[in-house]
Amino acid sequence: MAADEPAVIRFVLTDYGDKDILRVNLMKEGESSKNGMVRQNQNIKFDRETDTLVWTPCNDNSCTVPSTSTAGGNSGRDQLILEVTFANPSVDIESCHSDTTCERLKGATTVKSGMLEGYFKTGRTYSVSLDSLIPGIGEAYSIVEL
């Protein structure tokens, strides 16, 4: 990693077929409130040409970010949630007039949301298989360090 390059973690998104990615969100979940666990959106960049999500988690410092299924409560642990929104160009949404709820209900957009489980270090790149996510609550993507 170059000295002038910020300390980043890269996630390369793979295995999603010919679907178009509309949006990518990375959230940190862990702190509990009366309504359940709180999700905080993370400041990321998504390079559409390389399907790479770039995240600077520690203010340009090197660090390790744990993401575990035992997050929440007063454990002090967090988990990372990756949410990817896909477009289905075969669905006619002209009548929706840019209403995202209408588009979703017609099947023009779909969302995959799951946990990134592991210990992620700055300066490293990880491959995330989007098709590996099994539907259900608390499921995680398959991740491999590159």
What pLDDT, in 10s, does the model give residues 65-119? 989 877 655 566 788 999 999 987 777 777 887 787 787 777 778 889 999 999 9
Could you tell me the residue ranges of all domains in the chain? 9-145
Measured torsion, CA atoms of residues 116, 117, 121, 126, in degrees rounded to the nearest 10: -50
Report yes or no: 100 and 107 within 8 Å, Cβ to Cβ.
no
Closest CA to 53 of 80, 78, 26, 22: 26
Mean of pLDDT values over 30-36: 65
Q: Given this model, what pLDDT does residue 56 score?
A: 93
Ramachandran region of residue 18, left (φ > 0), alpha (ψ -120 to 50) or beta? alpha
pLDDT of residue 70: 72
DSSP line for 81-96: EEEEEEE-TTS--GGG
Percent of the chain with pLDDT strictly greater than 90: 45
**Mean pLDDT rounded to a whole number for the chain:** 84
Percent of the chain with pLDDT over 70: 87
Residues whose CB falls within 8 Å of the CB of residue 50, separated by 6 or more in sequence, listed in order: 12
